[in-house]
């Protein structure tokens, strides 16, 4: 089963109905490669973020020209941002907005007790 088949089969299930698993982990990890704007408000849902990003033709065009992982993340976002399973995930900034060139966000779901940290490092750790 591919990731997209999984999304199609289980996207209508909440995390209470089908607990978080390895495939959900891969999906959320891959979304870390998206371009998150500095001004993204804490607590925005994945659905709201996905809608605003996908309506911004210029940003989408730029992302499609980027490396393969970013294009793949964009395709994955299109598949998940409206699915019941993922749409209410809330994104919270982690780190220092002033110091990070590419902010990372933390998906959190109020439906159950889960925190998933997705971090993307652009520069090697020192």
Q: Which of 119, 121, 120, 108 is nearest to 20 (CA)?
A: 108
105, β-bridge pairs? 93
What is the average pLDDT score of the chain?
76
User: How far apart, in Å, are the Cα atoms of 9 and each of 14, 82, 105?
Assistant: 12, 14, 26
Residue 124: pLDDT band by 50, 70, 90 thresholds? very low
Indicate whether this model's pTM tops 0.75: no
| Residue 39 CB coordination number (10 Å) | 7
Q: What is the mean pLDDT of residues 114-118?
A: 54
Tens digits of per-residue pLDDT, 43-61?
888 899 889 888 888 888 8
Q: Which neighbouring-strand residues pair with 94?
A: 104
Cβ atoms within 10 Å of 19's Cβ, excluding its own: 11
Which has the higher per-residue pLDDT, 94 or 56?
56
* C-alpha span between 77 and 83 (Å, rounded): 10
Higher pLDDT, 11 or 68: 11
Res 67: pLDDT: 66
Q: Which residue has the higher pLDDT, 8 or 119?
A: 8
DSSP β-bridge partners for residue 115: 108
Q: How far from 111 is each of 6, 14, 17, 79, CA to CA, in Å?
A: 20, 8, 11, 21
Percent of the chain past pLDDT 70, that is, above it, reads 67
Contact yes or no for 28/118 (Cβ under 8 A): yes
Q: 111 vs 84, which has greater pLDDT?
A: 84
Q: Please give the pLDDT value at position 34.
A: 79
């Amino acid at each position: 089963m591919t990731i997209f088949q999984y999304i199609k089969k289980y996207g209508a299930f909440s995390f209470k109905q089908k607990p978080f698993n390895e495939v959900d982990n891969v999906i959320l990890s891959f979304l870390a490669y998206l371009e998150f704007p500095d001004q993204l408000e804490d607590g925005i849902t994945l659905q709201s973020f996905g809608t605003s990003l996908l309506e911004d033709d210029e940003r989408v065009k730029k992302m499609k020209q980027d490396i393969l992982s970013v294009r793949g993340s964009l395709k994955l976002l299109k598949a998940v941002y409206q699915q019941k399973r993922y749409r209410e995930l809330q994104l919270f900034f982690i780190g220092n907005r002033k110091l990070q060139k590419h902010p990372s966000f933390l998906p959190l779901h109020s439906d159950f007790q889960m925190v998933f940290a997705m971090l993307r490092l652009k520069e090697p750790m020192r």
